[in-house]
Structure formats: structure tokens, C-alpha cells
Chains A and B, each alone.
Chain A
Amino acid sequence: MFVVVTIVFIIVRIAPGDPAAVMLGPDATPQDVAALRTRLGLDQPLVVQYAIFFGQLLRGDLGESIFLNRPVLSALADRAEPTFFLTLFSILIAGMIAIPVGILSAYWRGSLFDQVSTTLAMLAASVPSFWLGLLLIQFFAVRLGIFPVSGYGGPGAGLGTRLMHLVLPALSLGVVSSALILRFTRASMLDVLNDDYVRTARSKGMGEMRVVMKHAFKNALIPVLTVIGLTAALLISGAVVTETVFGLPGVGSLVVSAVLRRDYPVIQGALLIVAALYVLINFLIDMLYLLVDPRVRY
């Protein structure tokens, strides 16, 4: 994490752009910008700024957002809900599409179903999620009027209303993410369907459903879990483009606006938390291996 902290700090500071200039607007004079830089401590040498940042970090303080006038941790906590639910629903949708279709594609390898599903998976993998998002908006929000176009509900919006705002973005991300999971599921199933223990199970007279689900799929799960975990880690770090298209106030949109405004503390804090979450999710996936495969030992 120390390396991450340092790299994040350096990348953020060497990128061109100035939060003071952004905050003061297009007609601010260079003198105004310089004065605000001084007030924000951005005129200090980088080493001094790094020491301050690191000192705060050791006390569990990610600093204060330049633009939001509030602690970075609290800004991130506010954004956690939409991002968490978006990730959850996207993974659920992706899993519900990809796992059954992947299993069936492998089972009926070479069939019309297999060819159609793998072609669709390739298409889904090639479609940018923002484009799919706009198509979904046009159809479900504009034409049918079932879901809202954007946002996360107004003041006092209940959980149900907020979740309604997540349906289209989750569908958009879920469809795109399903492509990779489907291909992994299919490939992994193809590997195990030809294994001896599957043949043995069949020869013992077990039903096909039981053979496929209990003997084949369970053994094919490890690569599938890995790819689901990686997808979840990517999504929880902020589905940047999708959140922007749908105007969702999640971690992704916070990071985007922080980058555009050069809100250094928010960029640093968000990247650190994301790095920690990435590690955590990978750790959880490793723990899941223990459950699905008794041969795995740490």
C-alpha cells in the first residue's frame, strides 16, 4: 500500500492542470489563482506536500476535498451505496446470463445455440457500455417510459426509487460483463466435460443434469469465480463511463469530477480505497476457492 500511496501521489501531482484555476473559473487572473494555490497549500514543495499527505494518512485521514469542503472519506462513503448496488446488480445480471448460457454452449458444443451465443458474447464484449447505455435509455426510458433517464432520485427518494434508477445502468454493465464470464464458463466447462470423472459419473447412470451441475460445473467454477471477482473489483472501483452517462452519484463519477477539477485529495483517497478494495475482493475470491475445491489449501 505504501507503494500505491506514493505512486498515486506522484501521478496526481505530475499531471497538468490546477484545481485553483478550475475553482476560480475562466476569467480569474493569474494573481487570483496564485493566491488560492497558497491558501490550499499547493505552492509548497512536493516533498512537503507528500509529508503532510502521508502524515494525515497514518492518522487514517484522507484529507479534505478542495471542492466539496468535506472529508474525502465521508464523500466516498456517500458514494458507496449506488456503486455497491450497481456492482451487485451488474454481477447478478451478468452471472444470470453468462453461467447458464456458457454451460449450455459447452454442453451443446458446435450446435446452432453455441454458435449464436458465442457470436452474441463477442458482440457484447465489443459494445462500449456507454453506447449500450444510451440505447437502453432511448428504448426503456424515452420510448417506454418505464425507467428514469438519469440520476439517483431527488430529495427524500426511498430505496425503491433509488434502485429503479440503477436498473438500466446495471443492465448495460451486466450485458457487457456477461460476455467475458460466458466465454470463461464455456471454456472451463469444455475442459471438464471431457474429464474421466464425468465419464465415470455418466457410466454410473446419473442423470445428465446432475452430471453437468454437480460433477462438471462445480469443478469448472474456479476460473469462473476468478473472472467474476475481477469484474466485481473493476466495477466497484467505479464504472466510470456508465456512471457518467446515467448521472449516477457513485465512486466513478466522483473520481471523474475529481480528475477534471484536479481535486487531489479526492483522487488520492479514492484510488487508495479502490486499491484496498481490489485486494480485499481478490482475497475473498481466494477464500471462496476453499469452499468450491477441497484440494485448495493455503
Chain B
Amino acid sequence: MRMREALLSGVVALVAGPALAQSGGGVINVATIGEPPTLDPMVSTADLVGIVTQHFFETLFTFDKDWKVTPLLAASMPEITDGGKVYTIKLRQGVTFHDGSDMTSEDVVASLKRWMEQASRGKQVAGNVDKVEAVDPTTVRITLKTPYAPLLALLAFNNSAAVIMPSEKMDVPMKEPVGTGPYKLKERKPDQYIQLVRNDAYKPLDGEGNGYGGARKPILDEIRFVPVPDPNTRVEGAISGQFDYVDSLPVESYDRIKNLETSKPVILKPFGWPVFVMNTKQGVMANVDARMAVRMALSMEDMLAAAFGNPEFYALDGAMYPKGYVWHTEAGVEGRYNVADPDKAKALLKKANYDNGPLRILTSRQYEFHYKMAQVAAEYLKQAGFKVDLQVVDWATLTQRRGDPALWDIYITHSPFLPEPALIGQLSESSPGWWSTPARKKAVDAFNTESDLSKRPALWAEVQKVIYDETPSIKIGDFNALSAQSPKLEGVVPAPWPYFWNVSIKK
């Protein structure tokens, strides 16, 4: 009897070998910077919302490791016809939602309509969309009024995301997060944890993972996102080994975690770029020479050193995208980045007829590196003759004040390197900063309407050149992000929005 059982279990193990290897199981605790403001990825552009919700919601497309758009819920890349105005998208078959229902073109159409009504990036698209329709149960067609090249990147992005939900779950605000992802939401206790469990019905794409694309294998049993708002506590949590992954650590903690047995550093290089956004609509910065004076006055090197300390975590780089991205170009940069020349700045200020009015710089200590950069910048700007009024407020106040052009001249923010330049907020005329000039329109429109991928990098170079000519914003440099992971975790890929499918625990 025992022999027979042993033989049987051997046969079962042989037959089910790959499946068992994949169902490695285990629970991981992920320390995040706080509690996401919502679990509806359409309505928020906050990174934390994308990090959590990408595990249970999916989009039609996503990005591979080279930041190229790749299908996810779509069966293939769309067929683009009529001069770039009609996108016909075939859907994957056999995809089910967490409630057990099948995903059909009706769900996709309803979701895209909700996205265009509720999501800020969806609204950006909506103006160009003539109609979204279901051709048959597995095909969706988007017809544009004019060609709009960023469409696929917007459909692929996990931030203000075009996620696909069941057509009967379109409530606003969202009542129940039901997606198609490799994990599903089990329980959320605000400020305590968000518990995701494996979606056993999930069918990953064939092959291996490839960035956010390719196969998304739900190997872990559970992922728990635990908010740990205090950065020092996150560091101690990484050192003690309480968390399996700790997001967003202060770079000063690198030396403390680099040689541990409990955690090892995860460096995302490069992660993003800090930026000074100018109010081009009203006040001192409405004058292009005054904006150029700010550019000429600043030492990016000193600002980055003050903000990030360890040179391993920043790089001087005036290009809007660093080397390695298809969008990298040096157009317009030469002689206009990291100049730190107060005399040139003074001459430009004179040309601008600067009346010694206050230059109001809006910053927040919620991002300490913003504040440190602001302090250094203020000194350089004073040397150049600006009367600086540094206004330090909390982030909520900053996001409110920047909406009113009467209240500020420069505000400081940052962004990860977005896969598609058209997603950069400051390029939009309605974004605080309100950059709206004929040169901007000509360059940005040419870039946005060109659907030939091979021609777009050259058009982006034109946009970058105009950014340097008109200085609606100033990129300070590149910076890297530091996180930590348990050495037991396998399959973690450094990513701006960390994900935990394809991740397993070493036995």
C-alpha cells in the first residue's frame, strides 16, 4: 500500500512538475511610503496607487524592459489604419475577471469610456477620440479625429491607468476593485495593510517576463503592502528583516544596508529627474529672459550634491532622457546646463527689466531633496540678483497653490523617466506652468501626431530644443532610487513601480 502511494505521488509529481515549481507560494511584506489615497488607478496619478493596483488591474498594453509598448490584455499590437486614425485591437481570449466573468469587448469599451471621463490621462486622449466601439466580442476599435501617437503609451501606462474592469462595475467612486491581474484584493485595512492573494485562475502569457510585459506568473501566495510612512522606520525595517521589500529609502541609508545579511540594496539607475517648473503665465517668470537667467544662475552640480549626497545616486545630465533611452538627445543642451554664471544671469535679468520683485519658489519638505535643492538654488539666484522668497509648505498645499498663477513663480517637483515623452505633464498647456507658445505648439503637435516610430525621436529632439530655448521648466539632473529586498527574494527587477509577479522566495 505504501509502495503504491509512493509510486502514485511520484507520478503526480512528474506530471505536475512545472506547475508545482511555479506555485512556490509564500507571503511577502512590502513596506511602502504610505497609504494610497485610492485603489482606483484611473482617478489618481500617484505612483503608490499604480504600484499596488497593477497587481490586480491590467491594461490592454504595457511596457517591456526596453520601454516599448507590448500587448497585455490585447492579443497583439493594434492594427493602425486610415493614416493613424483607426486602432483595431484584438483581445486575448479566455481572460476572466476576479469575479469569474469573462472579459469581452463590452467591458473594454465601458472601461475606456470611464477612463476618458475620469482619468486625467484619459481626458488628455478624449479630445482626440471620435468613438470607441466593440466590433465583435473580441475586437475593439478606437477611431481618432486626428492622428495621436501617444495613444498606445497612454493605454499602456499604469498611472492614471486605462485598466479594464467588468462593464457592470463602473461606479464612481469605485466600490469594488475587480480586475484581471495575477493577484486579487482580499482585504484592505487603511494604514495597516493591503492584502493581495494569488489569482489561481490567472493565465499568464507564454514565455518569460519582460519588464512589465511578458508572462506575469503569480508565484507568491500573498503580497501584503504595509504603509510605513517614516523613512527612518523603513530603514530599520529593512535592517531588521521585518519586510521582504522596502520601497523608497533615503539614499543616506545606503552604507547601512549594503553589507547586511537581512536585506540587500536595490538601486534603480536612473530613476527620475527633479525639475523646477516656471510659471510662464504670470509674474517674474512670464518673461523668457528672466527664466533663462534662472537657468544660467544655477549650479546643478551643487544642487544635486546637496540633495542626494552620495554621487552614486545622481548624475549631471541636461538631456531630458538619459543615455539608453531611445529619446536621449543633447539637442539644445550645450552651454545651457549647469552654467552657474551669475554675470550672464545678471545680464539676462537686465534685459528682462527685472523690477526686483520677489521670486516665489514653492517647495515642500515632504520630499526632502526638493527642499535641499531649493536652498542651494536660492543662494545662487540671490548671487544673480534675484530677490528670492522661498515658500516651504506641505505637499497638499503646494499642489493646491500651484493651480493659481497668482501665487507662485517656480515650483519644485520630480518625475520618473516616463516611457513616452508626451506623458510629461509640463508639455501640456493646461498643466500648472501654462507653457503656451507657437514654438511649443509646433514642436509638440508634430511629435504627437507622428505615428511612424522611427521618425519620433528626431521630433522629440525638436521639442527638447524648444524647452531649452524657452525654459518653461529646468531639469536639474538624473537621480537614482534606493530600495531594499530580502536576499531570499528571487526575481525582483528594479523598476520605478516595483512589481512582485514572477517573484519567489528562495527555499
Binding between chains A and B:
yes
Q: Which residues of A contact B (CB under 8 A)?
A: 16-19, 21-33, 36, 67-69, 75, 78-79, 130, 134, 137-138, 141-142, 145, 148-152, 154-155, 244-247, 249, 253-254, 256-257, 260-262
Q: Across the interface, do B49 and A25 meet the contact criterion of CB distance under 8 Å?
A: yes
Q: Which residues of B contact A (CB under 8 A)?
A: 27, 29, 34-35, 37-38, 43-46, 49, 120-121, 123, 159-160, 173, 186-187, 189-193, 195, 224, 226-230, 232-233, 236-237, 239-240, 242, 366, 393-397, 399-401, 403, 413, 425, 428, 430-432
Residue in contact with A262 in the complex, picked from B27, B237, B396, CB distance below 8 Å: B396
B121 contact set on A, CB distance < 8 A = 27
A/B interface sample: 19 pairs, CB < 8 A: A17-B396, A22-B399, A23-B44, A24-B43, A25-B44, A25-B120, A25-B160, A27-B45, A27-B159, A31-B123, A31-B430, A36-B43, A148-B240, A151-B193, A154-B193, A154-B224, A155-B195, A249-B190, A261-B37
Q: In the complex, which residue of chain A has the Cβ closest to the Cβ of B45? A: A25
Q: Across the interface, do B189 and A67 meet the contact criterion of CB distance under 8 Å?
A: no
Bound-complex Cα distance A244 to B400 (A): 24
Bound-complex Cα distance A67 to B395 (A): 16
Residue in contact with B193 in the complex, picked from A25, A28, A69, A155, CB distance below 8 Å: A155
Q: Across the interface, do B242 and A260 meet the contact criterion of CB distance under 8 Å?
A: no
CB contact under 8 A between A18 and B228, given known A29-B120, A150-B233: no
CB contact under 8 A between A25 and B46, given known A16-B400, A67-B38: yes
Q: Across the interface, do A26 and B399 meet the contact criterion of CB distance under 8 Å?
A: yes
Bound-complex Cα distance A254 to B190 (A): 9
Q: How far is the CB of B400 from chain A (nearest CB, A)?
A: 4
Bound-complex Cα distance A155 to B170 (A): 28
Q: Across the interface, do A142 and B240 meet the contact criterion of CB distance under 8 Å?
A: yes
How many A-B residue pairs have C-beta atoms within 8 angstroms? Tell me. 152
CB contact under 8 A between A151 and B192, given known A18-B396, A29-B430, A142-B239: yes
Bound-complex Cα distance A154 to B223 (A): 11
Q: How far is the CB of A152 from chain B (nearest CB, A)?
A: 6
Bound-complex Cα distance A145 to B242 (A): 9
Q: Across the interface, do A26 and B240 meet the contact criterion of CB distance under 8 Å?
A: no
Residue in contact with B396 in the complex, picked from A249, A254, A256, A261, CB distance below 8 Å: A261
Residue in contact with A22 in the complex, picked from B230, B396, B425, CB distance below 8 Å: B396
Interface centre among A79, A148, A149, A260, by most chain B C-beta atoms within 10 angstroms, is A149
Besides A17-B396, A254-B191, 15 more A-B contacts (Cβ < 8 Å) are A21-B403, A23-B38, A24-B45, A67-B37, A141-B242, A149-B237, A149-B240, A151-B226, A154-B29, A155-B186, A244-B230, A249-B192, A257-B229, A260-B394, A260-B396
Q: How far is the CB of B394 from chain A (nearest CB, A)?
A: 7
Q: In the complex, which residue of chain B has the Cβ closest to the Cβ of A152? A: B192
Residue in contact with A155 in the complex, picked from B38, B123, B224, CB distance below 8 Å: B224
Q: Across the interface, do B400 and A247 meet the contact criterion of CB distance under 8 Å?
A: no
Bound-complex Cα distance A134 to B232 (A): 8
Q: In the complex, which residue of chain B has the Cβ closest to the Cβ of A70? A: B190
Q: How far is the CB of A270 from chain B (nearest CB, A)?
A: 13
Bound-complex Cα distance A50 to B109 (A): 40
Q: How far is the CB of A11 from chain B (nearest CB, A)?
A: 15
Q: Across the interface, do A150 and B242 meet the contact criterion of CB distance under 8 Å?
A: yes
A246 contact set on B, CB distance < 8 A = 233
CB contact under 8 A between A137 and B236, given known A26-B399, A27-B120, A30-B430: yes
Q: In the complex, which residue of chain A has the Cβ closest to the Cβ of B428? A: A29
A149 contact set on B, CB distance < 8 A = 233, 236-237, 240, 242
CB contact under 8 A between A137 and B233, given known A25-B49, A32-B123, A154-B224: yes
Q: How far is the CB of B176 from chain A (nearest CB, A)?
A: 11
Q: How far is the CB of A233 from chain B (nearest CB, A)?
A: 23
Q: Across the interface, do A154 and B190 meet the contact criterion of CB distance under 8 Å?
A: no
Residue in contact with B35 in the complex, picked from A19, A134, A257, CB distance below 8 Å: A257
Q: Across the interface, do A247 and B228 meet the contact criterion of CB distance under 8 Å?
A: yes
Q: How far is the CB of B240 from chain A (nearest CB, A)?
A: 5
B192 contact set on A, CB distance < 8 A = 151-152, 249
CB contact under 8 A between A33 and B403, given known A155-B195, A261-B37: yes
Bound-complex Cα distance A145 to B239 (A): 10
Bound-complex Cα distance A17 to B121 (A): 23
Bound-complex Cα distance A117 to B35 (A): 42
Q: How far is the CB of B184 from chain A (nearest CB, A)?
A: 14
Q: In the complex, which residue of chain B has the Cβ closest to the Cβ of A20? A: B400
B394 contact set on A, CB distance < 8 A = 17, 260
Bound-complex Cα distance A29 to B430 (A): 6
CB contact under 8 A between A17 and B230, given known A26-B46, A145-B240, A151-B192: no
B37 contact set on A, CB distance < 8 A = 22-23, 25, 67, 261
Q: In the complex, which residue of chain A has the Cβ closest to the Cβ of B393? A: A16
Q: How far is the CB of A147 from chain B (nearest CB, A)?
A: 9
Q: Across the interface, do B239 and A26 meet the contact criterion of CB distance under 8 Å?
A: no
Q: In the complex, which residue of chain A has the Cβ closest to the Cβ of B242? A: A149
Bound-complex Cα distance A261 to B189 (A): 17
CB contact under 8 A between A18 and B242, given known A25-B45, A25-B160: no
Bound-complex Cα distance A25 to B44 (A): 5
A67 contact set on B, CB distance < 8 A = 37-38
Bound-complex Cα distance A21 to B226 (A): 24
Q: How far is the CB of B470 from chain A (nearest CB, A)?
A: 21
Q: Across the interface, do B230 and A247 meet the contact criterion of CB distance under 8 Å?
A: yes
- List of 3 A-B pairs having minimum Cβ-Cβ separation, nearest first: A25-B45, A17-B396, A27-B45
A249 contact set on B, CB distance < 8 A = 189-192
Q: Across the interface, do B233 and A17 meet the contact criterion of CB distance under 8 Å?
A: no
Q: Across the interface, do B425 and A138 meet the contact criterion of CB distance under 8 Å?
A: no
Q: In the complex, which residue of chain A has the Cβ closest to the Cβ of B234? A: A150
B431 contact set on A, CB distance < 8 A = 27, 29
Q: How far is the CB of B233 from chain A (nearest CB, A)?
A: 5
Bound-complex Cα distance A295 to B492 (A): 70
B232 contact set on A, CB distance < 8 A = 134, 245
Q: How far is the CB of A21 from chain B (nearest CB, A)?
A: 4
Q: Across the interface, do B190 and A151 meet the contact criterion of CB distance under 8 Å?
A: no
Q: Across the interface, do A26 and B229 meet the contact criterion of CB distance under 8 Å?
A: no
Q: Across the interface, do A28 and B191 meet the contact criterion of CB distance under 8 Å?
A: no
Bound-complex Cα distance A23 to B159 (A): 13
Q: How far is the CB of A52 from chain B (nearest CB, A)?
A: 19
A254 contact set on B, CB distance < 8 A = 191
Bound-complex Cα distance A253 to B192 (A): 10
A23 contact set on B, CB distance < 8 A = 37-38, 43-44
B45 contact set on A, CB distance < 8 A = 24-28
Residue in contact with B242 in the complex, picked from A148, A244, A261, A262, CB distance below 8 Å: A148
A68 contact set on B, CB distance < 8 A = 190
A27 contact set on B, CB distance < 8 A = 45, 120-121, 159-160, 425, 431
Bound-complex Cα distance A83 to B400 (A): 32
A69 contact set on B, CB distance < 8 A = 173
